[in-house]
Structure 1
Amino acid sequence: MSEAILSPTSSTDALAHPLRARALPIETDGEAMIFMHEDCPVARSEGFRARVRVELVAKGRRLLATLYRATDDLLADDEVGLPHRLMARLSLAEGDELQVRHPHPLSSLSHVRAKLYGHRLDEIRLGHIIADIADGRYSDVDIAAFVSAFAAQPAQGEETAALTRAMLAAGDRLEWNADRVMDKHCVGGLPGNRTTPIVVSIIAAAGLTMPKTSSRAITSPAGTADAMETMAPVTLDLAAMQKVVEREGGCIVWGGSVNLSPADDVLIRIERALDVDSDAQLVASVLSKKLAAGSTHVLLDLPVGPTAKIRSTRDADALAGLLENVARQCGLHVATVQTDGTQPVGRGIGPALEAHDVLAVLANRDDAPQDLKARALALAAGILELSGAPSSDALHRATQLLVEGRAESKFLAICEAQGGFKEPGRALQTREFLAARAGRVATFDNRLLARTAKLAGAPQRATAGIALHVKSGDLVEQGQPLFTIHGESMGELDYAFAFALRNSDMIRLEAQ
């Protein structure tokens, strides 16, 4: 994380110009930042400008942060304002002394500049960059430059493999007492595609090992970790995660809570702000975490559709080739499967709404979304095949585990092992979006539907999002609900509804 504490200072590193710590009630979304008064004599003498990178020294420890200037009476001229989270990281109390000074220059930034000018980077240079990012030495601006440089350049196999290994080296790595450790990953871009909890439950119920670390949303209304968190704790450390897997054979935890690929979590935060997701960093992100989690065999789901992340079969083939190439260089067995990305999966779009779909499938309810069930079973069968099961038997075996209730029992056991199961919540406010005319459902715009769910508050508001009422090919009457927007406040609900009205063709109807 960008708040990572650096190495302890020496005993001779005295506070030459001590200032006083002042806690500020602000949230910075993981960015390490501090505030100093524009008349602070230390800031003036050191020549600190706004947004300059500075080093904090307190109680024998150092930490890098971005400086901002206060121009009013928010702070006294001998105070440093820190978010409560940074105060805790440095074990500071109100009024404790600390020093603010210029940090040592970062040589790895020259490698970032080289990448910006189109040069390819080897594993040594990428290792220096990733290590500095993981240690919190880069500002958000520096990281954004690195992310943008990769996004602007076509992905190349050797460089992507080098980036993958550099990200892997920056964190911890798990080992399991199993010959084959299974995993799956979807590259994203398809709302409601919440197959992971179902697949993990089926695979663990089959007696295989599947320690699943999942991401929170980057540019979508929900990530697997967001949806899972509405049903069970997902913020487990490595020791807790290992206990769950040893006990139940699988888990579904947030990857950011375990130090498996720490630089990736920082990169994801910046990618979310930039709304970019380059192929090279996508591949390095996915594979570094799979390798770090101790996975040996991974099934990769690539949804393809005009408004999915992957727009065409040609793009999917290129990404699949890159994934397979890099995985081979890193000693990981992968299989890729291209799936339908033309419309959302299930009914819910948003953490709790997607969780309700998952529970309905696991419980074999009649009203469960059948497309989510079929997709999860197909992926589970693919993983069973990857483990060595006969292809003729894999789908039958996965279906049997689900229909007999063994997958549901395993899911509830995993939830209990992670800290206890809870029912996902329901939004207090809802509003139906009605068809303006009669017709047949022709197309869905996944991006606009996802945007509507995000404007309603997802994923930050766990119960916010969209509940779909139609699928492709359905006949609808004028005034029939196409979807229902769920929100936790009327303001967010109104905002999302207004956006939907301006983009009413996100579900396009054609004449019958």
Structure 2
Amino acid sequence: MKIRRIGIDTSPDNTAFLLRTGNGYSPEQFQALRKIEIGDGSVTILATLALVDDTGLLGKGEIGLGEQAFRRLGLPEGTKVSFRQAPVPHSLEHVRRKIDGDSLDDNDIREIIEDIAAFRYSPMEIGAFLVACASFMTTQETLALTRAMADAGRRMQWAADIVVDKHCIGGIPGNRTSMIVVPIIAAHGLTMPKTSSRAITSPSGTADTMEVLASVDLAEDKLIAVVEQEHAVLAWGGRVNLSPADDILITVERPLRIDTFEQMVASILSKKIAAGSTHLVVDIPIGPTAKVRSQREAIRLRKLFEYVGHKLGLVLDVVFTDGTQPIGRGIGPVLEARDVMAVLRNDADAPADLRERSVTLAGRILEFDPALVGGRGYARAMELLGSGQALAAMERLIDAQGRRKEVLKPGEFHHEICAPHEGVVTMIDCHVIARIARLAGAPMDKGAGIDLLRKVGERVRADEPLYRIHAHSEDGLGYASELALATSGYLVTP
């Protein structure tokens, strides 16, 4: 059959389309093919089969490929290919053993991850593996999972002896420190190829916010050229196939709300190793509505990071930070980009908490530089930010990646949520604030989100605005406002 490209986004799955009739097969035979193997003898992919009744979409003798399958197969449209039923993965036997309570060895886990990365598993089978691992997972299994995930895709290599990175485990809206840390580090001269995922459950990720200013969807050769030129990059990691099994696992983890420490460590460290990092700072915010709720949990997570990281040759510095409230004022891509640039410009009204956290983390990264006198990391970060060198590095980075010509603005529809009475803001629920911002349309609508007008410790009068919701549509504003009126996420104590 000949390949026909079908403009349907089936991310992250490979999906193939066949006419139900007219190709010499009965519908029953088609339905038996849970997964099919497609190729021309030189390259093959596995895909989930969908049957088509519309002859306007496909003709006889054609096999349609969704966008993901077409890109991954890499053959021109019209190429003749054959297909057959894909064999059941042998590694499913290991999953069944894990469900029964067995511990898996390194080879078992490697086989599972290789099959997942090759799209041999259905979402149901991936879910079974994740739930079994969430029930219990040994430290050795976590190490094996991390190594297998890092090895399953592209592994980047750099000329520099020290390649630094940072990662925040998330859960704190507005915590867009990477966009300040990266230009500080680049201005100093260390190599920091920062690749980030797009937001899945948060109002914005680093890639979403950077996209307000510049292109982040960089091909591998472009990404490498930017790093060689500017010592850094702020790009979307999905384009360069780093730890692809992790991207597949995440699509099942998020709906099931599976986020164990073991899977978190494997996800984060596999991406960093695949990106070629040698030194890593991990930011663990601690707070009542953060991912990590207590010092005890944070210490356990730190020890797991350190064990796996050191076994895989990473130099790690784990930092505990304040996770009791959002960072900065803006929640959502445009509003967060505004805060980032205000800090880099040293504006008088730039969010002090975002500035301080960014400088602290940048200082910890700079301590990795053997040429820097020990203990001078923070002072050096302050110097690079205060002198404007970090801003200049950011402007060069934006131009190198491709500056966005259109200036994006906050959503034109807005609504203010006000204090119910006079008092002091004593708590802000990070989870609720994130949900409200997402209902407003963030991160898909870049200008949607929340502008925080009051933070913890500030006094407010009755009916004084606590925050302003922005949206690009009346519907988005309505959904967000409805939740905010039911539960604002703020506690104002008289």
Cα distance change on mapping 1:221 and 1:39 into 2, 3 Å:
same
Name the count of aligned residue pairs: 490
- In structure 2, the partner of 1:445 is 429
CA deviations on 1:300-357 (whole Å, 9 max, x unpaired) are: 1000011101111111111000000001111111010110000000011112211111
Q: CA deviation at 1:21?
A: 6.3
- In structure 1, the partner of 2:86 is 103
- In structure 1, the partner of 2:187 is 205
Q: 1:479 aligns with which of 442, 460, 463?
A: 463
CA deviations on 1:235-290 (whole Å, 9 max, x unpaired) are: 22332222212211111111111133222222223323333322222111211222
- In structure 2, the partner of 1:5 is none
TM-score normalised by structure 1 residue count? 0.88
1:193 aligns with 2:200: no
Cα distance change on mapping 1:248 and 1:53 into 2, 3 Å:
same
Cα distance change on mapping 1:74 and 1:432 into 2, 3 Å:
farther
Query: Are 2:20 and 2:30, in contact at CA under 8 Å, matched by a contact in 1?
Result: no
- In structure 1, the partner of 2:278 is 296
- In structure 1, the partner of 2:123 is 140
1:28 aligns with 2:16: no
Q: 2:337 aligns with which of 321, 336, 355?
A: 355
Q: Using the alignment, how far apart are the partners of 1:122 and 1:391 within structure 2?
A: 41
- The secondary structure found in structure 2 opposite 1:455 is helix
Q: Using the alignment, how far apart are the partners of 2:35 and 2:295 within structure 1?
A: 44
- The secondary structure found in structure 2 opposite 1:338 is strand
Q: CA deviation at 1:116?
A: 2.5
Q: 2:313 aligns with which of 331, 334, 337?
A: 331
CA deviations on 1:347-395 (whole Å, 9 max, x unpaired) are: 1111221111111100001111110000001111111223344454222
Q: Using the alignment, how far apart are the partners of 2:276 and 2:424 within structure 1?
A: 47
Query: Are 2:410 and 2:471, in contact at CA under 8 Å, matched by a contact in 1?
Result: no
Q: 1:495 aligns with which of 472, 479, 487?
A: 479
RMSD: 2.6
Q: 2:420 aligns with which of 436, 447, 470?
A: 436
Q: CA deviation at 1:225?
A: 1.1
Relative to structure 2, which stretch is displaced further, 165-174 or 361-370? 165-174
Q: Using the alignment, how far apart are the partners of 2:116 and 2:105 within structure 1?
A: 17
Q: CA deviation at 1:36?
A: 4.8
1:398 partner amino acid: A
- In structure 1, the partner of 2:206 is 224
Cα distance change on mapping 1:298 and 1:447 into 2, 3 Å:
same
Query: Are 1:426 and 1:463, in contact at CA under 8 Å, matched by a contact in 2?
Result: yes
Q: 1:115 aligns with which of 78, 87, 98?
A: 98
Q: CA deviation at 1:398?
A: 1.0
- In structure 2, the partner of 1:126 is 109
In structure 1, runs of 5+ residues without a counterpart are 1-17
Q: Using the alignment, how far apart are the partners of 2:67 and 2:152 within structure 1?
A: 27
Q: Using the alignment, how far apart are the partners of 2:447 and 2:184 within structure 1?
A: 26
Q: CA deviation at 1:482?
A: 1.2
- In structure 1, the partner of 2:159 is 177
CA deviations on 1:4-28 (whole Å, 9 max, x unpaired) are: xxxxxxxxxxxxxx5x766655432
Q: CA deviation at 1:488?
A: 1.8
Q: Using the alignment, how far apart are the partners of 1:289 and 1:313 within structure 2?
A: 26
1:306 aligns with 2:269: no
In structure 2, runs of 5+ residues without a counterpart are none
Q: CA deviation at 1:508?
A: 1.0
Kindly, what percent of the aligned residue pairs are identical? 46
2:413 partner amino acid: Q
- The secondary structure found in structure 2 opposite 1:377 is helix
Q: Using the alignment, how far apart are the partners of 2:167 and 2:68 within structure 1?
A: 32
Q: Using the alignment, how far apart are the partners of 1:42 and 1:270 within structure 2?
A: 36
1:66 aligns with 2:81: no
Q: CA deviation at 1:129?
A: 1.6
1:160 partner amino acid: T
Q: CA deviation at 1:72?
A: 7.9
- The secondary structure found in structure 2 opposite 1:482 is strand
Q: CA deviation at 1:39?
A: 5.7
Query: Are 1:50 and 1:69, in contact at CA under 8 Å, matched by a contact in 2?
Result: no
1:242 aligns with 2:224: yes
TM-score normalised by structure 2 residue count? 0.91
Q: Using the alignment, how far apart are the partners of 1:169 and 1:61 within structure 2?
A: 20
